[in-house]
Amino acid sequence: DADVTQTPRNRITKTGKRIMLECSQTKGHDRMYWYRQDPGLGLRLIYYSFDVKDINKGEISDGYSVSRQAQAKFSLSLESAIPNQTALYFCATSDLGTSGSIDTQYFGPGTRLTVL
């Protein structure tokens, strides 16, 4: 069974609609992340959470919101989707990484979102 799952895997929606992408993990990790991947731009961090009560903005948080419902669940919402939010979205998890140690992240399979 996959350690990090994302639902849905594919979604087509219209401009102005509210969309929620969900992420669940069974790795027992405290840290969870949401990234988007665009051609030629690599992976960019949207939001991250280091524990259930901690939410932080990444480099491209405008137009997005998140909810950390439990240690294992981290949802990303697009309140009013627009076409330039069409992208591949990835959830990731990691252990608590302290300065001077690796903070290896484990990624879900991705959600391909198309906003028409």
Q: Binding residues for another protein, per CB under 8 A?
A: 4, 35, 40-45, 48, 50, 56, 58, 90, 92, 97-110
> Is the Cβ of residue 41 or residue 80 nearer to another protein in the bound state?
41
Beta strands in 39-72 (DSSP E): 42-51, 54-57, 65-70
Structure tokens at 49: 């959470």
Q: How far is the CB of 80 from another protein (least distance, A)?
A: 27
Structure tokens at 96: 């608590």
- At residue 111's C-alpha, the angle toward residues 108 and 116, to 5°, is 165
Q: How far is the CB of 103 from another protein (least distance, A)?
A: 6
Structure tokens at 46: 């949207």
**Residue given tokens 């959600």 in the structure block:** 111
Q: How far is the CB of 30 from another protein (least distance, A)?
A: 12
> Is the Cβ of residue 5 or residue 67 nearer to another protein in the bound state?
5
Compute and round to an integer the Cα radius of gyration of the chain. Answer: 14
> Is the Cβ of residue 19 or residue 110 nearer to another protein in the bound state?
110
Q: Strand 111-115 to strand 31-38: parallel, antiparallel, or no bridges (unpaired)? A: unpaired
> Is the Cβ of residue 9 or residue 14 nearer to another protein in the bound state?
9
Q: How far is the CB of 22 from another protein (least distance, A)?
A: 15
